[in-house]
Amino acid sequence: MSKHTYGNNLGFQTRAVHTGNDVDQETGAIRRPITMANSYELPYDPSDMNWSSAGEKPLYTRNGGANQNYLQERLQSLENGEDCVVLASGVAALSGLFFALLKSGDHIIFSNITYIAVYRLLHELLPEKYGIETTIVDTSDIQQVQAAIRPNTKLIHIETPGNPTTQISDIAAIAQLAHQNGVLLSVDNTFASPYNQRPLELGADLTVESLTKYINGHGDAMGGAVIGSRDLISRIRADSMVNLGGAISPFNAWLIMRGSSTLPLRMREHNNNALAVAHYLEGEAGVRFVAYPGLESHKGHKVAKNQMPGGFGGVLSFGLQADHDTHNRFVAALKIITSAVSLGHDESLIVFLGENDERQYLYPEEFHGGFFRLSVGIEDAEDLIQDLRQALAQVGL
Ligand SMILES: *Cc1c(COP(=O)(O)O)cnc(C)c1O
């Protein structure tokens, strides 16, 4: 038995290091190599091959390749699913999922708080161009989800914690409601990562990850994944790779594989640092509000505590007791924390989301004055807190 076929009976950390890696049969190298070839040797009689699907054995890198397969093995194990497809970005994974599972006349319910591309895809693109009906719902309220279900509802898509407000939705409760109504549930797990939360174990049908964030963790490669049952993933794989062409580069799959080995160690630091920073900010008079699922003041804290056994993640949002420009001056005064989008990198990143965000009407009241999304990195927490403290002082708060 090769190492990578070890099952889920091993611990999460052991699987993060070993699953999907093996001794290279040709060279004896203890790390599997990067296979950049576009094409793989065909069998003796290729005429009965199914060209429109991705088979077990790689054929063409857009249908599947060696490095993609290794990464899929690892992620399928870490998310505790039957199968996984890895793609070029988180958005490629999301659009592949929607494209594969929905058709015109279908109805989809999705969270009021989601990644911007999900909002655009589900609120504008799919309804306008493909006749798919969508309803935006505050999915932190199970009653609202229930009330939105229609006979033609096919999918509920939630993000928890939600980007950028860290809103929490109850995965197990929504999964139960979805299944009572013959509806599928997909969960964007990017903010939590499988170390902190595993939606499939809570009853979700599919989990989506932007690998660009915590799973790679080093801010140097983009990727996305969907994990779930064999049947659903084979449908998503066929459409998203073979027909939409969202294949990830083998090199990026290799980089993400390398980054993912330390996911458990990094997540523990992110969790601890973010909690320390959130507590610090909560005690500052110049801070208007702090939203972090690990704080008891967070509306979704109780649910988060139940469904995020590993920790509450590294992202928090907060606003200052100040005007628009003071928020920008605060960011300019930071010395360690970098102003940039993305999250889940080793380094801390901050982004100011101003009042003209097109989705502001979907956010709770306190977010309306403009706010920051802070991705707390794995630096020393004391240094991050000191950086925030000196920047607050510089803007007179
Ligand atoms: C970043 C992000 C995405 C998109 O991922 P990309 O890899 O940037 O395409 C999707 N969902 C969430 C929650 C994200 O934070």
Distances (CA, A) of 112 to 73, 101, 107, 274: 32, 21, 16, 24
Residue 305 falls in the annotated catalytic set:
no
Residues 249 and 356 grouped into a single domain:
no
Strand partners, 156: 109, 185
Task: Tell me the pLDDT tens digit for each residue of 104-152.
Answer: 999 999 999 999 999 999 999 999 999 999 999 999 999 999 999 999 9
Q: Specify the CATH number for the domain of residue 164.
A: 3.40.640.10
Residue 136 lies in a domain: yes
- Which band of pLDDT confidence, cut at 50, 70 and 90, is reported for residue 8? low
Angle subtended at Cα 216 by Cα 215 and Cα 220, rounded to the nearest 5 degrees: 155
Q: Ligand 1 centre from 90 Cα, in Å?
A: 5
Tokens linked to 247: 């294949």
Higher pLDDT, 2 or 100: 100
Task: Tell me the pLDDT tens digit for each residue of 184-201.
Answer: 999 999 999 999 999 999
Residues 200 and 229 grouped into a single domain:
yes
Q: Which residue among 202, 227, 260 closes a domain?
A: 260
- State the pLDDT at residue 102: 97
Atom of ligand 1 nearest to the CA of 344: 15
pLDDT at 2 over 90: no
Residues 224 and 157 grouped into a single domain:
yes
Tokens linked to 21: 């890696």
Average pLDDT over residues 311-321: 98
Taking alpha carbons only, the member of 261, 175, 166 closest to residue 218 is: 261
The closest residue, in CA terms, to atom 7 on ligand 1 is 90
Instruction: At 7, give phi and psi (nearest 5°).
Output: -85, -170
Nearest 10 degrees: CA dihedral of 253, 312, 11, 187? -60
The total of structural domains in the chain comes to 2
**Sign of the alpha-carbon dihedral angle for 172, 177, 180, 182:** negative
113 vs 120: CA distance, rounded Å: 12
pLDDT at 33 over 50: yes
Residue 188 lies in a domain: yes
Atom of ligand 1 nearest to the CA of 343: 15
**For ligand 1, is residue 159 a contact (CB within 6 Å)?**
yes
Residues 202 and 228 grouped into a single domain:
yes
Q: Specify the CATH number for the domain of residue 363.
A: 3.90.1150.10
Residues 220 and 103 grouped into a single domain:
yes
Residues 267 and 194 grouped into a single domain:
no
**For ligand 1, is residue 165 a contact (CB within 6 Å)?**
no
Pocket test of ligand 1: the residue of 163, 196, 214 to mutate, having most ligand atoms within 8 Å of its CB, is 163
Share of the chain above pLDDT 90, in %: 89
pTM: 0.96
Residue 9 lies in a domain: no
Residue 108 lies in a domain: yes
Average pLDDT over residues 259-278: 98
- State the pLDDT at residue 228: 98
Q: Which residue among 241, 260, 279 closes a domain?
A: 260
- Residue type, position 304, single letter: A
Segments forming the whole domain that contains residue 241 = 31-260
**Sign of the alpha-carbon dihedral angle for 285, 286, 288, 292:** negative
What is the rounded end-to-end Cα distance, in angstroms, of the chain? Answer: 61
**3-state DSSP call for residue 119?**
helix
- State the pLDDT at residue 168: 98
Length of the chain: 397
Residues 151 and 249 grouped into a single domain:
yes
Q: Which residue among 260, 283, 302 closes a domain?
A: 260
pLDDT at 354 over 50: yes
Residues 91 and 192 grouped into a single domain:
yes
Residues 310 and 166 grouped into a single domain:
no
Residue 20 lies in a domain: no
Residue 8 lies in a domain: no
**3-state DSSP call for residue 135?**
strand
**For ligand 1, is residue 162 a contact (CB within 6 Å)?**
no
Q: HEC string of 38-84?
A: CECCCCCCHHHCCCCCCCCCCCECCCCCHHHHHHHHHHHHHCCCCEE
- Which band of pLDDT confidence, cut at 50, 70 and 90, is reported for residue 52? low
Residues 180 and 301 grouped into a single domain:
no
Residues 163 and 148 grouped into a single domain:
yes
Residue listed under structure tokens 């889920």: 8
Residues 214 and 290 grouped into a single domain:
no
pLDDT at 251 over 60: yes
